[in-house]
């Protein structure tokens, strides 16, 4: 069934209720690499509820139900996240009940060989007092779904990285089983687990979720610049530019200009930029 442009553009939901618990916060932190050294006292509060559980800001990208576009006509196993734009209005609590308004704001036809880009925006509030918690822009790339006759569209200009050498670099490994763990956070796309499917779709092996790579980048900034203070991060935008294979070593290159951290993530062994044009905004 081909993509139905008119049906997609009419897709929205208001006051959708969802909730998460501290188990979700703990699992996400583990799935992006926190706790690899269980004796690290700065990382432990992200993976152990002891005194006060801290939350990884990019956990927000995994908190909304994945059923929003069920039945839209795409093949789910061919869908990839192309970007992520997160604005946090307050730090994520370790558990909460949420109210969400979600809608499709644009559908761009990139052609039969390049697919379709579907732009989703979500506004999320705390149910207990209706205060704004975060907004999430989540463009999706539906491979093979282009050619339906829509506008090609134009993406916003990406955040520009400084031309000087990076101010800081943080290298973090990924585990061979990291995609299998991360999919338990809410994205069960078989592309991240099934070797035969990954090969059919043109990859050497199952790839790590883009939102998993995003979490690794967030961990690098928390560790290197924020001294693990998650309350400092109020915005986190990335463009996914190449796949990460579980087991890759990810080098996050960072430039700090005031409260703006520009960054990109590189897998040097393959000379691949896997996240580009990253922008992390710190509270002022």
Catalytically active residues are 187, 192, 207, 210
Q: Are 259 and 252 within 8 A, CB to CB?
A: no
Take residue 153 and report the two structure tokens written for it.
């569209």
Helices marked H in 144-224: 178-182, 195-200, 210-224
CB atoms within 10 A of CB 30: 18
Find the farthest-apart pair of alpha carbons in the chain and give their distance in angstroms, rounded.
56
Q: Are 208 and 192 within 8 A, CB to CB?
A: yes
Instruction: Check residue 178 and report its DSSP letter.
Output: H
d(CA 284, CA 28): 27
Chain centre distance of CA 80:
11
Angle, helices 210-224 vs 22-31, to 10°: value is: 90
CB atoms within 10 A of CB 235: 19
Q: Are 6 and 72 within 8 A, CB to CB?
A: no
Take residue 148 and report the two structure tokens written for it.
């339906």
d(CA 152, CA 156): 13
Q: Which of 21, 185, 182 is nearest to 92 (CA)?
A: 21
């Amino acid at each position: 069934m081909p993509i139905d442009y008119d049906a997609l553009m009419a897709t929205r939901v208001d006051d959708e209720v969802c909730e998460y618990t501290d188990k979700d916060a703990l699992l996400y932190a583990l799935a992006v690499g926190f706790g690899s050294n269980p004796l690290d006292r700065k990382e432990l509060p992200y993976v152990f509820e002891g005194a006060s559980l801290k939350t990884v800001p990019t956990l927000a990208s995994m908190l909304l139900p994945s059923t929003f576009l069920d039945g839209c006509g795409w093949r789910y196993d061919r869908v990839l996240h192309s970007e992520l734009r997160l604005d946090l209005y307050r730090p994520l609590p370790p558990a909460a009940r949420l109210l969400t308004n979600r809608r499709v704001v644009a559908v761009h036809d990139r052609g039969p060989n390049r697919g379709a880009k579907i732009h989703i925006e979500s506004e999320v509030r705390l149910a207990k007092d209706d205060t704004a918690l975060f907004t999430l822009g989540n463009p999706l790339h539906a491979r093979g779904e282009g050619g339906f006759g829509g506008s090609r569209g134009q993406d916003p200009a990406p955040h520009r990285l400084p031309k000087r050498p990076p101010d800081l670099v943080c290298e973090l490994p990924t585990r061979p089983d990291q995609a299998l763990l991360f999919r338990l956070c809410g994205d069960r796309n078989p592309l991240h687990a099934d070797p035969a499917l990954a090969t059919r779709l043109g990859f050497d092996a199952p790839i790590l979720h883009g939102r998993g790579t995003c979490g690794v980048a967030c961990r690098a900034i928390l560790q290197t610049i924020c001294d693990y203070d998650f309350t400092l991060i109020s915005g986190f935008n990335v463009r996914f530019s190449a796949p990460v294979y579980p087991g890759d070593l990810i080098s996050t290159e960072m430039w700090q200009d005031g409260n703006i951290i520009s960054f990109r993530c590189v897998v040097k062994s393959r000379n691949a930029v896997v996240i580009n044009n990253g922008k992390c905004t710190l509270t002022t």
